[in-house]
Amino acid sequence: MSRAFTAKIITANDLLAGDVIYLTADDQWSRHHAEAELIEDEAHAQLRLLDAARAKSAVGAYLADARKGQNGPEPVHFREAFRMRGPSNYAHGKQVEPDHV
């Protein structure tokens, strides 16, 4: 039996700045995890990943586990939580960007 599909988001790094970006439902790349499209269907996920791979401004798009949260999708794995925040040794990256949510 194949494992049940769990919800995903699509994330990548920005081509120019290299920072973490998320694919939104309206085909934009957002800096905010909570604005990502939460994908709950496996076939749709594969299609969206193809869309993402075609995007010129995104590098290395992949599907990451996510769950529904109060203000939008939240990361499941600690790796995605770190990507959403930035490094733990300095206040750098997303955690200090002015419009961080």
Partner 1 sequence: MYNYTDFDAHFVRARTAQFAAQVERRISGALTEDEFKPFRLMNGVYLQLHAYMLRVAIPYGTINPRQMRALAQIADTYDKGYGHFTTRQNIQFNWPKLTDIPAILSDLADVGMHAIQTSGNTIRNVTADHFAGAAADEIEDPRPVAELLRQWSTDHPEFQFLPRKFKIAITGAPNDRAVTRAHDIGLRMVRNAAGAPGFEVIVGGGLGRTPIIGATVRDFLPKADLLPYVEAVLSVYNMLGRRDNKYKARIKITLHETGKEELSRLIEARFVELRAQFGGNDQALLAQIEAAFSAPDLRRADTAAYGAFYKADPVFRSWADTNLAAHRDPDYRIVTISLKKHGDTPGDATSAQMRLIADLSERFGHSEIRISHEQNVILPHVHLSDLPGLHAALRGSGLETANVGLISDIIACPGMDYCALATARSIPVAQQIATRFEELKLEHDIGPLKIKISGCINACGHHHVGHIGILGLDRAGVENYQITLGGDGTETAVIGERAGPGFAYDEIVPAIERLIAAYLKQRENAAETFLQAYRRLGLGPFKAALYPDEGKRNAA
Q: Which of 2, 4, 78, 98 binds partner 1 (CB under 8 A)?
A: 78
Q: Least Å distance between CB 83 and partner 1? A: 5
DSSP state of 4: P
Secondary structure in 3-state letters for 64-77 = EEEEEECCEEEECC
| Residue 1 in the binding site for partner 1 (CB under 8 A) | no
Q: Least Å distance between CB 93 and partner 1? A: 5
- Structure token pair of residue 80: 């995605």
Please give the residues from 13 up to 32 whose contact with partner 1 meets the rule CB under 8 A.
13, 15-20
DSSP state of 101: -
